[in-house]
Amino acid sequence: MEQNAQAYLVGAGPGDPGLMTVRALELVQRADVLVYDRLVSPDVVAQAPATCELVYVGKSPDRHTLAQHEINALLVEKAAPGRTLVRLKGGDPFVFGRGGEEAEELRSHGIPFAVVPGVTSCIAAPAYAGIPVTHRGMASSFTVITGHEDPSKLASSVDWEQVAHLRGTLVFLMGMKNLPVIAESLMAYGMPGETPAAVVERGTWPAQRVAVGCLDTIAADAAERGLANPAVIVVGQVAALHDELAWFDPRPLAGKTVGITRARHQASELRTELEALGAAVAEFPVSRLAPPTDPAPLAAAAASRETYDFAVFTSANGVKTFFRACEAACPAPADAAPSASSAAAVLAGAAVIAVGPATAKALATRGVRSAITPDSFCAEGVADLLSGRLGPSERVLLVRAEDARTVVADAVRAAGAELVDVPAYRTVLREDGKDDLLAALRAGSLDALTFASSSAARNTVALLDGDASLLAGVSLFSIGPLTTATMEGLGLAVRAEAGSSTVGGLVGAVLGSLGEPS
Ligand code: SAH
């Protein structure tokens, strides 16, 4: 069967990408189509090849969710001989994952499939909280139960009386909404209120949080801490072992949700750094890149073979668009090294200045490693750096955003140098994230929102139809003085500003304000 499988029902593990099986990783890395759920870590999805078709079928608040029969139909539609279809599910595909139904559907259509079991959250989340589900002398069995059903309903498919009399550990999945009534029902059927109980939220993720108490108090404890799904509920003596065996350190931003307003292609570094600190990250890409209104200066600079004494890049976006334009004007051979690209040739004789480390990095990955950066990572810093070095008849290439301020251009002109001014791109408002942003703000689910540029702040407020008061309950963070000034001008209260105008600085500001000492 496995030899000619077209579809794979694969468990991605509970969250920590290290808990994916070797087999699962192999399959994701060669998937042609990847159909995945909400509980699958973005780091796991990122393993798919660039050519892989990604289909997200998970639930998200306020968005149409594919019904199970639609997912089944999708799998049948996407499966084809010679193609690897990977259906990736959180935990194990056959533990409350509806994997069995998908397998039935594939079988009924004669589509050969294989199953790759995964590390299931019902064991792994307790384990990461220092809770063994069985323990000598304490629990010689464990039972995994859906918490999705309201125990007070008459026609429950779970026999609550029987469950309350089981002697081993009880693990409830999907139970946070019903936690109070689950606890009450167990006590009503005779389970002592002092039975140890725990809730493990986002087990194995950097944002893992744990509440431990007893059956009597656990619902209140969890509510007070705001614990919600995905979480497992553990009831039984073993829950008390957490105090002794906890080993997985909670991170300082665990339990915090931080929004990112950067354009999607620029968000990943910020996302990774925040997640490493335990934050849950929500992306609201309020901007996207667009070609400059007048494309002529960029095209001319890209095609020209003239040389410059200085070349100034004021953003990583500028680097990207300039190199792309040069490539379009004069393609390098496919096997050429980055340092032999046509853009690198244009820059060959010039002293290259990058506004900050991210811009310098964008240049370095394209073969230009000699860029220098100013002391302060902003236009004023670049102007200072230039004015100390620039001679009257020298030529300066300035690659910038169309709506950039004129600080650098003014400095070049003031020195009597020749300016080749290239507006290389515009950032324009991206409207498709509006509903997500509004929903998150209305639900109060964001603790923080980060702004890495003035345009991100302007576009965010534009998306909210100018109503900055919607952001009143959220801590707002700015990457630097200019963005802060723009935000304040828009009526936004800045909670903290980055110490240095870099992604690391921005993360540091969030951490300094919202982080809990561990
Ligand atoms: N197939 C999955 C379970 C899917 S049902 C598995 O084997 O783990 C979804 C429920 O799983 C969630 O409501 C939550 O109860 C639980 N869950 C999944 N991932 C979790 C995690 N990282 N931490 C805690 N609970 C998790």
341 lines ligand 1 (CB under 6 A): no
The residue whose C-alpha atom lies closest to atom 24 belonging to ligand 1 is: 231
The predicted structure's pLDDT at residue 244: 96
Same-domain status, 400 and 306: yes
The reply to whether 2 falls in a domain is: no
Same-domain status, 12 and 84: yes
Same-domain status, 457 and 346: no
The reply to whether 369 falls in a domain is: yes
The reply to whether 361 falls in a domain is: yes
Same-domain status, 307 and 417: yes
pLDDT in tens, 352-409: 999 999 999 999 999 998 899 999 889 999 999 998 899 888 999 999 999 888 999 9
Same-domain status, 238 and 266: no
DSSP secondary structure of 465-513: TT-GGGGTTSEEEESSHHHHHHHHHTTPPEEEE-SSSSHHHHHHHHHHH
pLDDT in tens, 164-182: 999 999 999 999 999 999 9
The reply to whether 345 falls in a domain is: yes
The residue segments making up the domain with residue 344 are 291-331+340-426
Cβ-contact 119, 25 below 8 angstroms? no
Please report the atom of ligand 1 found closest to the CA of residue 229.
13
Same-domain status, 296 and 422: yes
200 lines ligand 1 (CB under 6 A): yes
The reply to whether 252 falls in a domain is: no
Same-domain status, 74 and 195: no
The reply to whether 105 falls in a domain is: yes
Ligand 1 centroid – CA 128 distance (Å): 13
Same-domain status, 409 and 309: yes
Please report the atom of ligand 1 found closest to the CA of residue 99.
1
Same-domain status, 298 and 413: yes
The predicted structure's pLDDT at residue 59: 67
Same-domain status, 274 and 378: no
DSSP secondary structure of 432-478: TTHHHHHHHHHHT--SEEEESSHHHHHHHHHHTTT-GGGGTTSEEEE
Residues 6+ apart with CB under 8 A from 180: 219, 223
CATH number of the domain that residue 400 is part of: 3.40.50.10090
Q: How confident is the model at residue 219 (pLDDT cuts 50, 70, 90)?
A: very high
Helix (H, G, I), strand (E, B) or coil at 149: coil
433 lines ligand 1 (CB under 6 A): no
At which of 376, 397, 426 does a domain end?
Answer: 426
Instruction: Please give the structure tokens belonging to residue 457.
Output: 């702040």
Do you find a cis peptide bond into 230, omega within 30 degrees of 0? yes
pLDDT in tens, 175-210: 999 999 999 999 999 999 999 999 999 999 988 999
The reply to whether 444 falls in a domain is: yes
pLDDT in tens, 44-78: 888 899 899 999 898 654 456 788 899 999 999 99
At which of 90, 119, 148 does a domain end?
Answer: 119
The residue whose C-alpha atom lies closest to atom 15 belonging to ligand 1 is: 173
Cβ-contact 207, 279 below 8 angstroms? yes
Paired with 354 in beta bridges are 313
CATH number of the domain that residue 164 is part of: 3.30.950.10
Same-domain status, 130 and 170: yes
CATH number of the domain that residue 43 is part of: 3.40.1010.10
Rounded mean pLDDT, 414-423: 94
The reply to whether 171 falls in a domain is: yes
Ligand 1 centroid – CA 293 distance (Å): 49
Annotated active-site positions, please? Answer: 37, 59, 174
Same-domain status, 90 and 179: no
What is the number of structural domains in the chain? 4
Please report the atom of ligand 1 found closest to the CA of residue 89.
1
96 lines ligand 1 (CB under 6 A): yes
Strand spans (E) along 90-208: 113-116, 142-146, 169-173, 196-201
Percent of the chain with pLDDT over 90: 73
At which of 103, 119, 135 does a domain end?
Answer: 119
